[in-house]
Amino acid sequence: MRSVTTDRVVIVGAGLAAVYAALKLAPRPVVMISPDPLGTGASSAWAQGGVAAAMNPADSPEAHAEDTERAGAGAVLREVADYVTRAARDHILDLTDLGTGFDRTASGDYVLSREAAHSIARVVRVKGDQAGAEIMRALIAELRETPSVQVLEGAQAVRLETDGDRVAGVILTSSSDAGSKPVLLRGAAHLLAGGGSGGLYALTTNPPRIRGQVIGMAARAGAVIADAEFVQFHPTAIDAGEDPAPLATEALRGEGAILIDRHGHRFMQDVHPDAELAPRDVVARAIYAQTQAGNRPALDTRDAIGGAIGSLFPAVVQACARNGIDPVSAPIPVAAAAHYHMGGVATDLKGRTTLDNLWACGEAASTGLHGANRLASNGLLEALVFARACALDIADALPLRESVPEVPLSFEPGGAVPDPRSITDLRHVMTDKVGVVRDAAGLRAALTAIARLEAAHAPDDSFRNMTATATLIAAAALRRKESRGAHYRSDHPEPLPGPGQRSRLTLGEAMALRDEVAKDTV
């Protein structure tokens, strides 16, 4: 295998966490690995809600941390929640200085929205539902003017090279040529910021490439994975047959939109005192139950928002228009879709993983902030806080080298080619067996099916990363014999007594459980 060595920091990913970390590392030279043109393939740009931060004088970081802990169903690390919520305001001001056009009142205050499980309006937004896209626009503009950053577009990380417990490099292939030979890139340090796992599911709101590859890659190298079973399903993906499904942002419900069944009944009032603003896991299970019962759940914005929806939530209206839906005159059909992975590569407060010379941030990481159920709009906030934490720690670990040549990279044909049909089969296994509602029989069947699919495609690193993450999610879900937050077991519907516990699992442990299940089914 051809190898290239550089004194640059290698950043795997091109979303918010990756771009922000690259900016915070400047003037230290970095090289970013971006499978798609910068700004087009990451979940960050699709985020509609905004960034949660205590910007209102009536609010406080302590209240934000309490809401985070409450939503996380007993699995949040309070020291992490305190650390993140205290930093939130500074990051909003920083993004503003970098050119993010947050919505402001006539007097200059930030417009704040209330989303599910928040005790107060504290979500800072842009043009209603354009926060992710606008933040990425501003940061990428700054990145283009930062000479220390090199972006390798069209490259995809598929494996980590290790020397014992130390990461020595990242193996890359071409993202545009599935049959390219891999290249080993050895960097001064390595940061994983490459997204979550929602695309492992057949029904998802995530971009097409976000299928657990980064988490799987770290797991295959021996990194500990935390809270893998906690996958958040967004209650209101627009159910119109698109893959991925467009998102009807939670801010719509914050503005008063209601959930109704096909008979027009507002069913969330029967489920939770907070109705549509109940925690996401509660609303997602209610939506799922309505779907399973054939009641065709829908989000009704007509009375609460009416004709203003076009100016307040343009992305939602555009998605509806593509599918022949007019939210001004008709409800929007919705379904629960895989949206955010609370689990990921286990990190500390500095973003360090359990492998030396490897850091992680963004959705690929599991910091302990989200627990069993991410509080709405804490995802972008966590990405910002830990991207900076990683950058500061990496900078402390490396000598300052400001003049480093760019990485020369080219790919030759001759690599393994993934099988689209197997990816489709894997996604359906995850939705059918490891979805909103789980049980032991389904999880065991999932592990058996994942093993079969993996065995048929052993040479393909990208697919093995997907099956590694799928195995970790299913195995952790099988081991957790309780229901907590986004993890719901119909055969264990109550939480265990006492404080919630986080899970920590290596791929070796998950594979051992998978093998045990296989023996039991023979």
Given a contact cutoff of 8 angstroms between Cβ atoms, the answer to whether 22 and 143 are in contact is yes
Residues 204 and 130: their CA atoms lie apart, in Å, by 19
Q: Which of 211, 220, 280, 374 is catalytic?
A: 280
| Coil, strand or helix at 303 | coil
Listed in sequence order, the residues at least 6 apart from 36 whose beta carbon sits closer than 8 Å to its beta carbon are 14, 42, 153, 175, 209
Residues 70 and 67: their CA atoms lie apart, in Å, by 5
Residues 363 and 381: their CA atoms lie apart, in Å, by 11
DSSP string for 377-434: THHHHHHHHHHHHHHHHHHHHS------PPPP----B------HHHHHHHHHHHHHHS
Residues 28 and 48: their CA atoms lie apart, in Å, by 32
User: How distant is the alpha carbon of residue 317 from its chain centre?
Assistant: 24
Q: Using the structure block, give the residue that is written with the tokens 């791929």.
A: 507
Task: Give which of 511, 428, 437, 417 is closest to 469, Cα–Cα.
Answer: 511
Query: Both tokens of residue 126?
Result: 């842009």
Residues 285 and 102: their CA atoms lie apart, in Å, by 32
3-state SS string for 329-341 = CCCEEEEEEEEEE
Cis peptide before 495 (omega within 30 of 0): no
User: Does 280 qualify as catalytic in the annotation?
Assistant: yes
Residues 156 and 158: their CA atoms lie apart, in Å, by 6
Query: Both tokens of residue 173?
Result: 């292939």
Active site residues: 280
